Amino acid sequence: MRRYSKRSLGNLKGIHPDLRRVIDRALQEGPLDFIVIEGLRTMQRQRELVASGASQTMNSRHLTGHAVDLLPIGKDGAAFDWPLYDKLGPAVKAAAEAEGVKIEWGGDWQKFRDGPHFQLAWDEYPTEEWVTGDDAPKPRKKTQSTTLQAAAGAATAGAGGVATVLGSLDPVAQYILLGAASLAGLFLLWIVRERLRKWGQGDR
């Protein structure tokens, strides 16, 4: 049975419990031992990494405890080495599959291949559903954020109300009210679109 080093255990602090389960299983069942070289990251460190070119985004899953970096240990010791990542990547993905946890491996990225990097998938694990330090994630919802649901609800309620009020007004008042309602609707659509865009920005 493989054991984490002190360093690895330190770097696993503050990591999402589902990701932790995956890493635990990969350590025991995978073909390679590894060191957890990084987990939760401070904003300050992220800024430094972006400045140095080591990371390309300030929207990193490391900042929220949704990502880890693993350094594989081969026959000749620990190495940042593609042949080793090519073994470790599929092993961690198999562990995730067995745990029923959806993850993404940086080694699968086209733009900026990141062999050591593993993160929980954005769509199944949105940032707002778990805050580092919590033991258990909040109950998972398949639906979109409450803000979006509220916006959609308000739009529907608003439309119903408008129809009722319209019936009791004279034609000119109806046009004015309709115009105002469409403007409000357009604004609402824009808000929803902006939120969806931010929500969909899957990046490391």
Contacts with Zn ion by CB under 5 A lie at 69, 117
- Rounded to the nearest whole angstrom, what is the least distance from the CB of residue 83 to Zn ion in the complex? 20
Smaller CB separation from Zn ion, 16 or 117: 117
- Nearer Cβ to Zn ion (25/41): 41
Shortest Å, Cβ 106 to Zn ion:
6
In the complex, residue closest to Zn ion by CB: 117
Strand 103-105 relative to strand 117-120: parallel, antiparallel, unpaired?
antiparallel
Residue 34 vs 162, nearer CB to Zn ion? 34
Residue 187 CA to residue 191 CA, distance in Å, equals 6
Q: Does residue 65 contact residue 16 with C-beta atoms inside 8 Å?
A: yes
Beta strands per DSSP E along the chain: 33-38, 67-74, 77-78, 103-105, 117-120
In terms of Cα–Cα distance, which of 47, 66, 9 is closest to 202? 66
User: Closest distance between Zn ion and the C-beta of residue 21, in Å?
Assistant: 18
Q: Which is nearer to Zn ion, 20 or 117 (CB)?
A: 117
Contact call for residues 46 and 35 (beta carbons, < 8 A): no
- Smallest distance from the beta carbon of 102 to Zn ion, in angstroms? 17
